[in-house]
Amino acid sequence: MSKPPRILLTGFTPFDNQEINPSWEAVHALDGKHVGDHLVVSRLLPTAFADSQHELESMVREFEPSILLGVGQAGGRSRLSIERVAINVQDARIADNAGAQPIDEAVVADGPAAYFSTLPIKAMLKALLDEGLPAEVSNTAGTFVCNHVAYLMLHIAASHRGMRAGFIHIPYLPAQAVHVSNAPSMSKNDVVKGLSIALEVAVTRSMDERFAAGTLD
């Protein structure tokens, strides 16, 4: 009996003195779920540049996913942020969990300057908004480990026929936001619902929609 196609869904360990990372809290809840004919495999990545690369590459070899979706914490954002682009830059404002703090270094030496998401980001956005969930298309995944993993996922997908990849940033959970002045948050249930909707669109849509979702800043 053949294995179902797989979605590799990743979250991160806590960082920057946080006790939890909402990305893993939400991603873990979807492990083993089916989205259409696809099986979700949720895995935890370390918030560390080198270690996350080694573990991601190992996961891709093990699971041979058809879709890669990384999820990361973006404290201060109020919406599910579907990333449009990942850039070939590591410029860490703080050290990662392994103590590394690369500045102006490439994610992949001699790699393209950037990769665009190969998931239907506008269709995903529309589906989320239609369900009443705050969402947006984001044009920056930062320059820390989230962007690092987003770029690596797209770099890996570019060399695997039929593989697609993307990244979504999520807000703090309420339990985190209560400790940060004026920080927006989103419930775990809403994040899990949002990720489920986004994955369903990714599985069922090969062509994206076309409507304005850009920004002026």
pLDDT at 54 over 90: yes
66 within a domain of the structure (yes/no)? yes
Six-digit token pair at 143?
Answer: 């320059």
Q: Are 27 and 42 in contact (CB under 8 A)?
A: yes
Per-residue pLDDT at 1? 63
Per-residue pLDDT at 36? 95
Q: Are 187 and 170 in contact (CB under 8 A)?
A: no
Q: Find, among 5, 129, 138, 140, the residue nearest to 64 by Cα.
A: 5
Q: Reduced to 3 states, what is the DSSP secondary structure of residue 67? A: strand
Active site residue 28: no
Q: What mean pLDDT comes out for the span 95-122?
A: 98
172 within a domain of the structure (yes/no)? yes
Name the band, by pLDDT with cuts 50, 70 and 90, for residue 57: very high
The number of beta carbons lying within 10 Å of the beta carbon of residue 67 is 24
> Among the options 83, 105, 131, 148, which is catalytic?
83
Active site residue 200: no
- Report the number of distinct structural domains present in the chain: 1
Residue type, 134: P
pLDDT at 198 over 70: yes
1 within a domain of the structure (yes/no)? no
For the chain, percent of residues with pLDDT exceeding 70 = 100
Six-digit token pair at 54?
Answer: 């080694």
Name the band, by pLDDT with cuts 50, 70 and 90, for residue 217: confident
Q: What mean pLDDT comes out for the span 210-217?
A: 90
209 within a domain of the structure (yes/no)? no
217 within a domain of the structure (yes/no)? no
Q: At what angle do helices 49-63 and 145-158 cross, to 10 degrees?
A: 30
Find the CATH number of the domain harbouring 32.
Answer: 3.40.630.20
Per-residue pLDDT at 2? 77
133 within a domain of the structure (yes/no)? yes
Q: Are 78 and 133 in contact (CB under 8 A)?
A: no
Average pLDDT of every residue of the chain: 97
Per-residue pLDDT tens digits for 72-98: 999 999 999 999 999 999 999 999 999
Domain that holds residue 27: 6-204
Active site residue 179: no
> Among the options 25, 54, 155, 169, which is catalytic?
169
Helices assigned H by DSSP within 159-207 = 174-177, 188-204
> Among the options 28, 146, 155, 209, which is catalytic?
146
Q: What mean pLDDT comes out for the span 178-182?
A: 89
Per-residue pLDDT at 108? 98
33 within a domain of the structure (yes/no)? yes
pLDDT at 102 over 80: yes
pLDDT at 3 over 90: no
116 within a domain of the structure (yes/no)? yes
